[in-house]
Structure 1
Amino acid sequence: MSSELSMTEKVLPASSFTSTSIRPSYYIREPNFGKYDNIEDITVVWLDSHSNVSLDCFDMKIRLRYLINHLLTFHSISTCLEYMNSDIEYEKVFFIVSGSDSEIILPEIHLSPKIHFNYIFCNDKEKYENLSQTYSKIRGIFNDKDSLLKKLISDITSCLSNLLPISIL
């Protein structure tokens, strides 16, 4: 969680919450990605324009924070694209996107070498199955957070084991 302390964050006002959203005492934060230090080679980026209003999404963010030190969440496609086009050349990005946002952003980022894998998190898997045939970096379409987390952990573990230097004396 040290990356949280090194980031400049924008706190969304409590008035942006609806009656079905998280209690007003909780705040969802968007990073100012121009000023941060990632001490890892792995970044999990999550884009979901509706994640502010779901307790399930809030729980997912908490669980992701336990798994990875550098988690960035975006609620705007344009802000997410701005980050993806910024100078993050040495990071491997594991990108989680909502189904509705995936149809808009995947055509823009699928060729980027920054993106290691994409994961679609949605309610209707069948609706987005065609995207996995179009975009080879999609590791799965998930409607269950536990399945998504299991796959993400497996992929990150595999990636990290490939990044670790080995010295032979």
Structure 2
Amino acid sequence: MVVAVIIGCEIAFWVLLGAGLVARYPLRRPRLGAALLVCVPLVDLALLAASVIDLRRGATAGVSHGLAAAYLGFSVAFGHSMVRWADQRFAHRFAGGPPPVRPPRYALAHSRHSWRVRAKALLGWAVACALLGAAILWVNDAERTRELGNWIRSLTVVILIWLVAFPVWETMFPRRPKR
């Protein structure tokens, strides 16, 4: 059940985002567009509710529950940025807005931007691990929540590799403007 809800929530995220942007720009209904965009985080709450209900009914936590927590964590961290990214492009294309802001490509500005993205990833990791930890404590059954502990370990390994590998790569091979 949780896998279907995750897929449904991902679809609902993009449908609400698209509907909000269409209402805001081509239809020139900014208040309706804003209302639809404000509903985007409600998709995350629906996913959280579905996971809680499933565990409450006695389900053994599986990969889908871990994936739901990871989805929620990274949606909290990157959701606003994704909406802003889409809004800039939609405004430029359909409302004569300025061209979208591109991330810096070189030197210190690129490094600052990369570290902001890493900070968001850390926030996503922290929220996901907090949700997983809360579920483990709430269910209070090591046998039923073993998979959630595995998710915490996996997410931690991935974020550590990402936090170490990319700064080392950028230091060894910095981007330089074309001549």
Q: Same fold (TM over 0.5)?
A: no
TM-score by length of 1: 0.25
Name whichever structure is richer in helix by fraction.
2
Name whichever structure is richer in strand by fraction.
1
TM-score by length of 2: 0.24
